[in-house]
Chain A
């Protein structure tokens, strides 16, 4: 059985899905398995936004090397997201500041949002899923 078996719902309904990535890329499986859901949601032609906040901002950091911890490096997937028409990537300004990060440190182009802007964006969504 593949992930694609139950696709093609064909309902024509498009909802706004936000994926809130809050955790570091390694240490727990949430970031890796969360990405799977994001890709499937895009395959359903839904309106997808990804937000990176708290330690989740580390998911986008340049220079990841996982050899030492012997786990898969999936950071390339973030760079391939535009191929799935996932172009709405947002990071939380406060989370970046708290970790001494700037947009220059990230592997993809993002929109940096203040807490208030983030709250407004969240309020516009139909579905918010947090990983």
Chain B
């Protein structure tokens, strides 16, 4: 029987690989694969930072204290790694995942559950099925960690080390979930279970904290660096009860951290025993997992269907209706109906009251922090953090805020029967992400403007009047910039629906990653081209007029020009894409 299950797994894998190879005949996948491969080559071929390497220069005392020798660093990694494993294990028990211990696809449920296969064989099938993913992950992590040359060892020992860690963690997740299922099946309520686990956790924390409190090693004094600091932390953690709790984790990590083959083979035995114990635990558990697996398979299928239909929102479909963001009155502009509809599909946090609250908090909080800090660096930190956040929001926000035509493309048949022009539908669909991104950027701008106040004392031209003018001008330009940024991915979805649709495929491998990279690069390229006339025009206006009307008025004048250019670009884009939407036949575009 296991042979048949293995056949299913291996044949599916073979066919998956073949279909992936076959689709490389299509240029969109071939180009995506080339870009993805180039990206991976760049990531894995560049030298990694030698954060853990011992300093070769004489350096100052402070610099020397920053670094540690490999002999000191490996035990540190062992302690912190084991501590992380303990935390993961505790979390698994305290906050169990919604997933059942064993997950099956809908097809597996349909074919395997009614088949004459024992429950234990199904468990083996599932555990074996996870192995491919774990093995690939082990290779990936080895590639990522290959720059840690201070570890010594060999690439194969590192792969085996990662494989051991990932396999045991996976088995622990499975075992914990199945055990918890068994506890639930026995009729123990969620609250009672939480009370028991919390009680146990409290006892553990107290038992671990007392010896740490009593025998905590002294922290170094004077001019000490992060190396000495982390060593002290590790010594503190590795004390008393925690020392014993960390012990299995250290055993598990030992093969990966082994510096040579001899150490590796010595470390392999205890780690393999740990793995065997976990396997024995999971495979001997007599627990009913079928019902939870069926429910999960259905949920997952629904999620995949939604994902493929373009709905990228995380989590399952909402359980409860949201309160309306604003009353939708009839009659009125139909575009606002799309804003209203799409806002209902966002999280409750995207409500004007929340935004207003954030603005008030920033207006009170930023000056207070600057005053409490007493020094300019606090203001600089706030300004830089807010500015970086704003830049990231403007650049990456359109990829994340997708409550527009990209999410509604599956409903295009219905949208096109509405008595609206294409540009009206497109504009309406864009309003929600525009509102969200604009809100975030306005809040960031507010923080930047407030944080710049102390700089005004030392920079003569940064007068309150200029700051206010510049802030208002930036605030006026932000919605237009967001619209332009959002037009591009929506244009990509309308102009290249087959390409865009293929990037929605979940997982998908290197070629899909490459395609997504192409979309991101394309977006950057188009936005730069679109902004070129704005930047050149504004620069010329400011340069020519500031001598006559002063910097604040020059900036205001340049803003008017920027808004005019952006408005023209947006109007042209909306009209053109609206025409395209009216002619779009998704079914035809997606024909293979």
Answer yes or no: are A and B bound together in one complex.
Answer: no
Identify the B interface with A (CB < 8 A). none
Identify the A interface with B (CB < 8 A). none
